[in-house]
Structure 1
Amino acid sequence: MARRDSLLKLFLETRKHTEDICAPLELEDYVVQPIVDVSPPKWHLGHTTWFFEEFILKNYTTEYTVYNEDFAFVFNSYYETVGKRVIRSDRGNLSRPSVQKIYEYRKYITNVIATTLKENTSSDILMLLEIGIHHEKQHQELLLTDIKFILGNNPLLPAYNNTIKEHSPEPHKQEWISIEEGVYEIGHHTDEFCYDNELGRHKVYLQPYQIANKLVTNKEYIAFIEAGGYNNHNYWHAEAWDWVNSNKITTPLYWHKIEDKWHYYTLNGLQEINLEAPVTHISYFESFAYAQYKKLRLPTEFEWEVAQSHFDWGKRWEWTESAYLPYPEYAKADGALGEYNGKFMVNQKVLRGGSIATPLNHTRHTYRNFFPTNIRWQFTGLRLAK
């Protein structure tokens, strides 16, 4: 009962927080999809609701009536096991169902889940509920970053709100943390929630190394730009150099030079760049190039995990030099939930930490985020190693 009550409380808090994120939006903001990587806010609202309906209510309630038969097609994301879906690039074409109808759907599913938990507290339901809660927390982070991209590509550069502070400097001085050569254990090892890609605790051997106690700042990154970093092929992978030239990349995402001063778009609107704040919205390609410029490198995800207790983290998702691969003894779950992480373990780099968009109590030092090497719309940054 205690576990059910705590999960129900977290469930209701999580559902409310998603809607709080959307509260500053105008109705028109809910539908926009500027690029394929960005989903409209209304789609996030519906998808996170469908997840509970699809994986809990359809399977564990005998008298449940599906809210709308079309919603599985509209709000399924990538789960081949559960049927057809709207292709990702078409999510912005969904003028229907209306935003109001999606909020009604959310209220309906939230209430049914709460009622179901009073009648059925099986371990399977509680396990799926916990996954669903953290799935929605993941989408809260995506929702906020997608909202920023939507508004940041509006020619008027409107502010989202005035409360989220994206660019606080790290107060301490730059130092190098030395880690001794040795064998270290990697992976999740407590009874608290984690994703399957964190499991399979195992040993790794690390050479002696040093890792920075601070993230690279805007001031440091501007030096790279002004030194011709985006024009020097020696710093870039071949694929990255093609990406830079094909897309005419010259700065991090959201940067603008106005009257010889650097500015960036923030959730508070257009602002002059805080030179001492950590750089953000850079790709793995750019992170690697900057490290090459400094004659340094990115840490591996294992180096990051071993050293993380020696520095503050959580302001930026930090690119690592590690490919996103399964840990030893990794096993996908049966059925549709097996598609949650394992199917993406190719052509991705691991990021560690968290960001200002990450919900409270959602990340941990074993959390493995992952994105393709050119992705920049997340709150990404870099920490150097040598």
Structure 2
Amino acid sequence: MTVLESFRSVRKRSLDLCKNLIIEDFSLQASEEVSPPKWHLAHTTWFFEQFILVPKNHTYQVKHPQFNFLFNSYYNTLGSRTARNQRGLMSRPPVSAVLEYRTYVDNAMERLINVGDSEILELVILGLNHEQQHQELLITDLKFNLWHNPLDPEVMEIGEYEAEEGKGWTEVKEGIYEVGHSGNDFCFDNELNRHKAYLNDFAISNRLVTNSEYLEFMNQGGYENPIFWHDEGWTWVKSLEIKAPLYWEKKNSDWTYYTLNGRKNLDETAAVAHVNFYEASAYANWKGLRLPTEFEWEVANLNFSWGRRWEWTNSSYLPYPGFKVAPGALGEYNGKFMVNQMVLRGASVATSANHSRSTYRNFFHPHFRWQFMGIRLAKSL
């Protein structure tokens, strides 16, 4: 697939994700951590405009200068911006204007792509991967926003809960292994540089923890016993009175959960989802096991199926040896977040096609759980 074909495909998918939304859905924002669909559609367009069209095409005319304030996310070097918790307050510009903005930028981008400049094409590929990240966020943010509606809206089916397969453990011998991205295909800068890591003997589960297994943890008082929890995790549990994963709710004594295709009965064979790092660690401790490190996960990943849940690791999000922050505004993409966050590996049912690889380093603060986050266990040998 050419870069132009990829550009058209990725840009179309963002719109396709919104095909079943009503106009009121486009501006929903239930918390600071999530963003409205309208904002995602505009921000990903702004990214192409500000990082490619403005600096690389001197004849390009910015149609809406004020959009730089409205749709910047966290790039401090590009000026002031709308407060993150106020993105849902922007009833204007209307959705129609955002769609016109996308068309305007897309037309200019296609003309620029056709020039064939290699530096520009590299930036386009980065922009497409950025948009694919936001496609996943659009899905998960939308789920969180719609969950607050007691009507349990049905807007899309992505196979959120399907039976988990696999059994047993994969054992890995101690040794020095190479980790990190290699090759010339695209990766984010936080996956570089490839380097050596020493691992002790360990084993990693060939499948994810299921709803049935997690329910056993709950039924045996997992959320009531502080011995299993990190101190911060226990404070989080008690202060918010947490009793179950996000979206779980009892209906007539039976557990259900909200999905983007409406409320469903709990499928005990499916992998548990929407648990945070504190919950994942507590469950592992309850089992007398642990979470894998991100390097253990990467070394062992060929031995098990992955891609339905982002999988918590016991690794802090830190730079690899030799990591350098890119110059300019693009340097704010990953490096400045390397503090107080934990790494997740794999992908999820909401991840866009062709946007996953074994070296991909996702990262979130340990209390977040609105992504499709799950648990894979490990043990030392």
User: In structure 2, what residue type is equivalent to 1:24?
Assistant: N
1:107 to 90, 103, 109: 103
State TM-score, norm by structure 1: 0.97
State TM-score, norm by structure 2: 0.98
Partner of 1:39: 35
Conserved 8 A contact 2:71-2:82: yes
In the TM superposition, residue 171 of structure 1 has moved relative to its aligned partner by 2.9
Partner of 1:335: 328
User: In structure 2, what residue type is equivalent to 1:94?
Assistant: M
2:17 to 21, 24, 31: 21
Q: Does 1:295 align with 2:285?
A: no
In the TM superposition, residue 165 of structure 1 has moved relative to its aligned partner by 1.1
Q: Distance in 1 between matches of 2:15 and 2:152?
A: 23
Q: Distance in 1 between matches of 2:45 and 2:63?
A: 11
User: In structure 1, what residue type is equivalent to 2:159?
Assistant: K
Can you list the C-alpha shifts for 1:291-328, whole angstroms capped at 9, x where unaligned? Answer: 01001000000000000000000000000000000000
Q: Distance in 1 between matches of 2:107 and 2:8?
A: 9
Q: Does 1:141 align with 2:136?
A: yes
Secondary structure (helix, strand or coil) at the match of 1:231 reads coil
Partner of 1:182: 175
Can you list the C-alpha shifts for 1:272-302, whole angstroms capped at 9, x where unaligned? Answer: 0100100000000000000010010000000
Secondary structure (helix, strand or coil) at the match of 2:17 reads helix
Q: Distance in 1 between matches of 2:116 and 2:321?
A: 32
In the TM superposition, residue 249 of structure 1 has moved relative to its aligned partner by 0.7
Can you list the C-alpha shifts for 1:41-62, whole angstroms capped at 9, x where unaligned? Answer: 0000000000000011101112
Partner of 1:223: 216
Secondary structure (helix, strand or coil) at the match of 2:250 reads strand
Q: Distance in 2 between matches of 1:59 and 1:238?
A: 48
Q: Distance in 2 between matches of 1:248 and 1:30?
A: 31
Q: Distance in 1 between matches of 2:78 and 2:30?
A: 27
Can you list the C-alpha shifts for 1:93-140, whole angstroms capped at 9, x where unaligned? Answer: 11111000000000110111001222x322221111010000000000
Partner of 2:247: 254
Q: Distance in 2 between matches of 1:21 and 1:88?
A: 22
Q: Does 1:373 align with 2:369?
A: no
Partner of 2:226: 233
Conserved 8 A contact 1:148-1:160: no
Q: Does 1:166 align with 2:160?
A: yes
Can you list the C-alpha shifts for 1:190-223, whole angstroms capped at 9, x where unaligned? Answer: 1110000001100000000000000000000000
Partner of 2:279: 286
Structure 2: 5+ residue stretches without partners: none
Secondary structure (helix, strand or coil) at the match of 1:262 reads strand
Secondary structure (helix, strand or coil) at the match of 1:205 reads strand
Conserved 8 A contact 2:164-2:210: no
State, as a whole percentage, how many aligned pairs show the same letter: 53
User: In structure 2, what residue type is equivalent to 1:98?
Assistant: P
Q: Distance in 2 between matches of 1:112 and 1:15?
A: 14
Q: Distance in 2 between matches of 1:49 and 1:67?
A: 12
1:81 to 73, 77, 82: 77
User: In structure 1, what residue type is equivalent to 2:318?
Assistant: L
Secondary structure (helix, strand or coil) at the match of 1:90 reads helix
Q: Distance in 2 between matches of 1:198 and 1:254?
A: 32
In the TM superposition, residue 332 of structure 1 has moved relative to its aligned partner by 1.0
Q: Does 1:55 align with 2:48?
A: no
Q: Distance in 2 between matches of 1:60 and 1:268?
A: 42
User: In structure 1, what residue type is equivalent to 2:329?
Assistant: A
Structure 1: 5+ residue stretches without partners: none
Provide the aligned C-alpha RMSD in A: 0.8
In the TM superposition, residue 164 of structure 1 has moved relative to its aligned partner by 1.8
Conserved 8 A contact 1:316-1:380: yes
Secondary structure (helix, strand or coil) at the match of 1:185 reads strand
Say how many residue pairs are matched: 379
Conserved 8 A contact 2:3-2:113: no
In the TM superposition, residue 151 of structure 1 has moved relative to its aligned partner by 1.1
In the TM superposition, residue 9 of structure 1 has moved relative to its aligned partner by 0.6
User: In structure 1, what residue type is equivalent to 2:82?
Assistant: V
Partner of 1:204: 197
Instruction: Judge which range, 298-307 or 258-267, deviates more.
Output: 258-267
User: In structure 2, what residue type is equivalent to 1:20?
Assistant: D
Secondary structure (helix, strand or coil) at the match of 1:229 reads coil
Secondary structure (helix, strand or coil) at the match of 2:223 reads helix
